[in-house]
């Protein structure tokens, strides 16, 4: 990562806001535990500093998607902390998974067979979760597969089943009828394994007004994204992003701006260009439709977003706000990750996970130091 003195944009990740969100979710989920989903480098925010802050706050259960992510993550966690791999086991990956002390989420009868065979061979009990497909048709055992295991318990020989999970397809739509249908199916199938912990809710599900079984698996809500569409977002913002102005200019009437000269005005304009583009995860889709904020004033993106830069229409702003090196808010108090996602026709998950590697990154604890924003990592 570039140093903040020379970087063209500064990404700030507020670990205190993360912890505030964790505590909020704990209160909503109780008595269920809150597990943290830190896949995709904690949605782009840095899995190591995020997991360290969450363990300090009392979180003991973590989920990643890939085994390779678990290998990178395991040394950061203590042996008291559970690390699950959502995508389960690739053929032949069971030895690496067991050696790493990661717990696979077994998604098929073949994966159950692989894990059990390893446990028997190693004469060791190996922990695992089972995922049940209750209607999303993505990953997991079918209810029929579960019945097969339930009648032939030998299939789980050597396996220490610590968790049964399923995943909701429509948890971000609180009134979608599929939510209740999936929960009913989950309860029926999980009844084959009395006493084993159960988990079905992601962030959206955690805000649904009902019980949450034994554990929720929270991702986007920890990172400040809105868990449910069309409802006010109760989460604290975790990410802010400020880009530096490289230069500004006065553009005469009828002169085009950017690739394709697509942005043209009948009036003279003033523009400012920043060093953030689609290679930094700022969606190209935001050309001529996205916004930024300078001293709290909204300015529009003019023309196409380039790979490494984009231009703002700053007509009417005084020179002193446009000095090269001064900061423009891309994410912050005036513009959330959900606002940007809406402008780009996507979801906050995609905005976060694409955030670029060319930004300077500070993990800060804002509340702990109140006015003084301190560097932590
Ligand atoms: C990504 C993921 C989550 C977290 O979802 P959020 O909506 O980000 O809270 C939970 N469970 C599974 C199976 C996932 O793939």
Task: Find tokens 């948890």 and name the residue.
Answer: 171
Closest CA to 286 of 247, 312, 320, 250: 312
Given ligand 1 and candidates 50, 217, 220, 225, which is best to mutate, with the most ligand atoms within 8 Å of its CB?
217
Q: CA quadruple 185, 187, 193, 198: dihedral positive or negative?
A: positive
CA–CA gap between residue 14 and residue 24 (Å, rounded): 16
CA of residue 346 to ligand 1 center, whole Å: 17
Confidence at residue 376, expressed as pLDDT on a 0 to 100 scale: 33
CA–CA gap between residue 109 and residue 112 (Å, rounded): 5
Q: Whose CA is nearest to atom 3 of ligand 1?
A: 202
**pTM for the whole thing?**
0.95
Query: Directed axis angle between helix 109-122 and helix 143-151, to 10°?
Result: 30
Ligand 1: residues whose CB is within 6 Å? 37, 39, 86, 167, 202-204, 217-221
Per residue in 5-64, pLDDT tens?
A: 899 999 999 999 999 999 999 999 999 999 999 999 999 999 999 999 999 999 999 999
Residue 92, Cβ neighbours under 10 Å: how many? 8
* Backbone torsion region of residue 230, taken as left when φ is above 0, otherwise alpha when ψ lies between -120 and 50, otherwise beta: left
Confidence at residue 373, expressed as pLDDT on a 0 to 100 scale: 36
If DSSP codes are grouped into helix, strand and coil, which group holds residue 312? strand
Verify whether residue 188 is a known catalytic residue: no
Confidence at residue 367, expressed as pLDDT on a 0 to 100 scale: 63
If DSSP codes are grouped into helix, strand and coil, which group holds residue 295? coil
Verify whether residue 22 is a known catalytic residue: no
Give the chain's residues under pLDDT 70: 367-377
Q: CA quadruple 295, 300, 305, 310: dihedral positive or negative?
A: negative
Q: Compute the chain's Rg from CA coordinates.
A: 24
């Amino acid at each position: 990562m570039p140093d903040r003195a020379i970087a063209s944009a500064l990404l700030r990740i507020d670990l205190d806001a993360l912890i505030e969100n964790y505590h909020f979710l704990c209160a909503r989920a109780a008595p269920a535990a809150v597990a943290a989903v830190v896949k995709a480098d904690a949605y782009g925010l840095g899995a190591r500093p995020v997991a360290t802050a969450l363990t300090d706050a009392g979180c003991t259960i973590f989920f990643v998607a890939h085994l390779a992510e678990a290998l990178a993550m395991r040394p950061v966690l203590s042996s008291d902390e559970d690390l699950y791999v959502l995508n389960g086991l690739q053929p032949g990956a069971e030895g690496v998974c067991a050696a790493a002390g990661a717990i696979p989420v077994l998604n098929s009868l073949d994966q159950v067979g692989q894990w059990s065979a390893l446990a028997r061979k190693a004469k060791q009990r190996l922990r695992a979760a089972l995922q049940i497909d209750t209607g999303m048709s993505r990953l997991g055992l079918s209810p029929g597969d579960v019945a097969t295991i339930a009648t032939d318990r030998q299939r789980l020989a050597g396996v220490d089943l610590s968790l049964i999970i399923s995943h909701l397809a429509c948890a971000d739509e609180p009134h979608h009828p599929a939510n209740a249908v999936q929960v009913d199916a989950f309860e029926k199938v999980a009844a084959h394994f009395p006493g084993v912990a159960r988990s079905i809710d992601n962030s959206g599900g955690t805000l649904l007004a009902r019980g949450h079984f034994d554990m929720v698996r929270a991702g986007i809500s920890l990172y400040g994204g809105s868990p449910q569409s069309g409802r006010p977002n109760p989460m604290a913002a975790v990410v802010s992003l400020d880009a530096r102005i490289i230069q500004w200019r006065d553009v005469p009437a009828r002169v085009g701006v950017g690739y394709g000269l697509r942005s043209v005005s009948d009036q003279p304009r003033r523009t400012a260009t920043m060093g953030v583009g689609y290679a930094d995860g700022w969606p190209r889709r935001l050309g001529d439709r996205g916004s930024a904020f300078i001293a709290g004033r909204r300015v529009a993106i003019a023309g196409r977003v380039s790979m490494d830069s984009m231009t703002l229409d700053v007509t009417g702003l005084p020179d002193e706000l446009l000095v090269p090196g001064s900061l423009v808010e891309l994410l912050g108090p005036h513009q959330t990750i959900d606002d940007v996602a809406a402008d780009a026709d996507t979801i906050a998950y995609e905005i976060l996970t694409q955030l670029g590697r060319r930004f300077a990154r500070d993990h800060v604890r804002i509340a702990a130091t109140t006015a003084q924003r301190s560097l932590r990592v």
